Amino acid sequence: MYSAVMSMSTPERLIEATRDLLWERGYVGTSPKAVQQAAGVGQGSMYHHFAGKPDLALAAIRRSAGELAAAAEAVLGGEGSAYARIEAYLLRERDVLRGCPVGRLTMDPEVIAHPELRAPVEDVLALVRGRLAQVIQEGLDSGELRGDVDPEELAATVVATVQGGYVLARATGSRAPFDHAVRGLLALLAPRGASA
């Protein structure tokens, strides 16, 4: 892993180090010195590429948000029924006990208080909800999903289940609560006539 990181450009190493530190420690715990140590660069290199900690954190948050959007689109934009794509989204590989690198930022008062840092978090969660609502609407239009649901409300429920599942898993130190939440939601969403 170290050799792969060291083969990256200096800005890439700084962004990746910041992403990891934000995920683990939050904004306050992500000091410039910790970033420099994790990236294997000096102070001069960091400030040559980024104006300061907020600038670097913004690049890292945007990167995490972009990866979340791409991972969601990879399954929601794929082949299969609406239910199958929602199921693929809910069951996709995640580091459940580590939590969501974007969702965890919503609990960080420094990120939420800073409109520029908060914007990519807010935008990507809205994008995922919107994409889920489109897939749900497809399922409603085809008659696959029950017609008595609001696509936007159900999309918010799916995102809340995933993010809440992370919280429950971290609180217990077990991925079981996450898996239970996902299976419960899938049972509720099961297409007409299907046995969940």
**In the structure encoding, which two tokens stand for residue 17, read together?**
């180090």
Q: What pLDDT is stored for residue 1 in this prediction?
A: 43
The domain of 12 spans: 2-189
Neighbour tally for 101: CB within 10 Å: 20
**In the structure encoding, which two tokens stand for residue 66, read together?**
């972009």
The helices-and-strands tally (H runs, E runs) of the chain is 10, 0
79: phi then psi, degrees, rounded to nearest 5: -85, 160
Residue with tokens 């689109």: 73
Task: State which residues of the chain have pLDDT below 50.
Answer: 1-4, 196
Residue 162 lies in a domain: yes
Indicate yes or no: pTM above 0.85.
Answer: yes
Residue 196 lies in a domain: no
Residue 48 lies in a domain: yes
Q: Read off the DSSP letter of residue 144.
A: S
Q: What pLDDT is stored for residue 8 in this prediction?
A: 83
Residues ≥6 apart with Cβ < 8 Å to 95: none
Residue 130 lies in a domain: yes
Q: What pLDDT is stored for residue 6 in this prediction?
A: 56
Q: Read off the DSSP letter of residue 103.
A: G
Structural domain count, the chain = 1
List the CATH number of the domain containing 149: 1.10.357.10
